[in-house]
Structure 1
Amino acid sequence: MKQIYAFENKNDYEKYQTITQEFSERLKEYQEILENEYELRDLPKGILWTSEELATDTFSNIPIPAYTNEDLIYMSPDPESWRRIFIEQLDGKNLPHIQRFYEEYTEDEMFIILAHELTHHSDLFLDEFEDERGEGIWFEEGMCFYLPRKIILSEKELSDITRVESELVEVFKTEYGNHSLEEFGHSTYQGSIPSIMFDYWRSYLAVKYLVETIAHNDIKTVFNEYHKWDQEGRTMSLSEYFNIDDLFN
């Protein structure tokens, strides 16, 4: 993949050069695992490194400065921007232990987000980039967080982020939990940062439950069931098929 830099001045390019090079090298190891085990066949043409402002106002109107299409992964390499976004997830609630977690692990969380975007390119997912994002999007989004976390993080790190996001789901359940997993889609990105991330937290936790509790840590079994749901004509929602409609009640 090419490394493409889109900054408004040379100083920004130089400021983030170290972290973009480090992330690019780290991503190669994860990419190799996806290619060998998870049907990553067609890579994006490159990673476009840019500022939060350009990512969210110029190249797209998505309020999170990391996303992908068939050709490019767009990513802000600015830890300060991401630290602010991570804290904004808390919506002003007094959760000092979670705030401290995000402050201390900002760069690791950033790298997981970059790996998340690459995971979307796996051929194991049913929908193509040009398709209207509809049924079962929660599964792809949740798996795109589960796989890099499971592969890259230590057991303690995985436990820590799972504990944080489980608590956040509980904290925000009353405000943002009055819709099903199946409603993850384009409208998700019209809300606030906490409401957007609520759908990601639930999706990750749902996939983790499917893999580790239902499938006894067999990721391939979960993917097989996902494909079976599609082959049988999608006669019910994916969450119904997996029998997890009440998982967060």
Structure 2
Amino acid sequence: MKQIYAFEKVDEYAKYQNIIEKFGKKLKEYQRILEENYSLSEMPKAIMWTTEELATTILSTIPIPAYTNKDIIYMSPDLPAWRQLFMKQLDGKALPHIRNFYENYSENHLMTILAHELTHHSDLFIDEFEDDRGDSIWFEEGMCQYLPRKLLLTEEEFEEITNVEMALVEVFNEKYGISPLDEFGSNSYEGSLSSIMYDYWRSYLAVKFLVEVRANNDIDMIFGEYQKWHKEGRKLPLTEYFELN
């Protein structure tokens, strides 16, 4: 996988060189786990490292500076910019404990965002990037959140971000709770940042529940049911199939 650097100035690359190299090594280790256990057979062609500004205004209009476009992962390694972005998703609400978490958002957590993008390339997911992916995107996005966090974070870090996102779902439920999870993806990246992230939080928590509670930590069972749902013709919405309603 090639490493491409899209920075306007040489000193910007120098500023992020250390974290880029660290993340590159960690991603290779994570890649090996996916290849051995989660059907990663074809890698993306490249990672394009860039700034938040270029990622969200020039290279794309997606408001989150980490995404996959066909065979290329785009990623900003700018940790302070990520912290500011996550503060913005709180819509000005006080939430001191959650603010403290995002003010100190760590490199380990940022690494899981990069790993999230690589996880999308697993053959265990049914839909391709060019597909409409309208009725089960929540499962893929939730699993791409869950796997990197479960595999790369410490138990304490995993529990902390889970508690933060559970609290955020409760905070924003009254505002956004009417939207069914199966509709995640129908208006991707439209609306406020909190409305976009609300679906990511819910998807992660739904997948975590399926794996750890419903399947007693048997992740293969959950992937098997997901693929069975597809092979049988997607007769029910996936949340209904999994009896999440």
State the TM-score, normalizing by the size of structure 2. Answer: 0.98
Partner of 1:221: 221
Match status 1:182 vs 2:179: no
Q: Deviations over 1:13-47 (max 9, x none)?
A: 11111111111111111110000000001000111
Partner of 1:82: 82
Q: Deviations over 1:43-80 (max 9, x none)?
A: 00111000111111111111000001331100011111
The aligned runs of 1:23-38 (5 Å cut-off) are 23-38=23-38
Letter in 1 for 2:114: L
Cα distance between partner residues in 2 of 1:153 and 1:20: 18
Q: Give, in angstroms, the shift of residue 109 of structure 1.
A: 2.0
Q: Aligned pair count?
A: 245
Q: Give, in angstroms, the shift of residue 186 of structure 1.
A: 4.7
RMSD: 0.9
Q: Deviations over 1:97-151 (max 9, x none)?
A: 1111112233222111100000000000000111112111000000000001111
Partner of 2:127: 127
**Residue segments in structure 1 that go unaligned for 5+ positions in a row:** none
The aligned runs of 1:87-98 (5 Å cut-off) are 87-98=87-98
Is the CA contact (8 Å cut-off) linking 2:83 and 2:104 kept in structure 1? no
Partner of 1:196: 196
SS at match of 1:73: strand
Letter in 1 for 2:105: Y
Runs of 4+ that moved beyond 6 A: none
Match status 1:236 vs 2:236: yes
Letter in 2 for 1:218: D
SS at match of 1:189: coil
The aligned runs of 1:40-55 (5 Å cut-off) are 40-55=40-55
State the TM-score, normalizing by the size of structure 1. Answer: 0.96
Partner of 1:146: 146
Is the CA contact (8 Å cut-off) linking 1:48 and 1:73 kept in structure 2? yes
Partner of 1:11: 11
Cα distance between partner residues in 1 of 2:158 and 2:119: 17
Cα distance between partner residues in 1 of 2:80 and 2:129: 30
Cα distance between partner residues in 1 of 2:133 and 2:89: 24
Cα distance between partner residues in 1 of 2:8 and 2:191: 28
Q: Give, in angstroms, the shift of residue 8 of structure 1.
A: 0.8
Letter in 2 for 1:116: H
Cα distance between partner residues in 2 of 1:130 and 1:21: 30
Q: Deviations over 1:170-221 (max 9, x none)?
A: 0000111110001110513111111111000000000000000000000000
Cα distance between partner residues in 1 of 2:195 and 2:242: 24
Partner of 1:205: 205
Identity between Structure 1 and Structure 2 (%): 62
1:16–1:65 CA distance, 2 compared to 1 (3 A): same
Cα distance between partner residues in 1 of 2:103 and 2:215: 34
Cα distance between partner residues in 1 of 2:40 and 2:82: 27
**Residue segments in structure 2 that go unaligned for 5+ positions in a row:** none
